[in-house]
Amino acid sequence: MVRGVAFVRGDSKITGVVNFEQIDEKSPTTISWHLTGNDANAERGFHIHEFGDNTNGCTSAGPHFNPFGRAHGGPGDSERHVGDLGNFKTDAAGNSKGTMKDNLVKLIGLESVLGRTLVIHAGTDDLGKGHDAESKSTGNAGPRPSCGVIGLAAEPSCAARPSSLKSLSPSHL
């Protein structure tokens, strides 16, 4: 089994932990998250972007991870970027906790997402169903207020306790 983790933070109050687990190269990857600081009762897009570069904030992460050259779509679509994870829903306090399985996201093999950036977007992803060119590349998900590089993890990381992030200095993230 291979595990990955992204501690997300940025120029907003959105913080949290996203864990990834894959048993073997042919298995789906389980993605679980616990995020805080979002807008209340909202749907927000989240994607895996091509680069693990956050030198200029989340904008340095580049486009969605798309090794097969496909159009943007939703996580259940056959036509989509590997990095297209869709939307997560927030509760009345702006928090989100969830789990999903994904057959395209890999931690093992040539298309591994380890070392790439997970980005939380400020808007709702239209899943490539919009009527403009931007829909087919970004899902019109908007700005990138929070992100984190997906690193190799030994164990699942405090996904149930994002408040523990407050004790970590930026050098530990």
Catalytic (active-site) positions: 47, 49, 64, 72, 81, 84, 121, 144
Q: In sequence order, what DSSP letters do the residues of 39-58 get, joined into one string?
A: PTT-EEEEEEES----EEEE
Instruction: Compute the distance between CA of residue 120 and CA of residue 9 in angstroms, rounded to an integer.
Output: 9
Contact 127, 86 (CB under 8 A): yes
For residue 168, give both structure tokens: 């970590």
Which residue matches tokens 């995020």?
A: 35
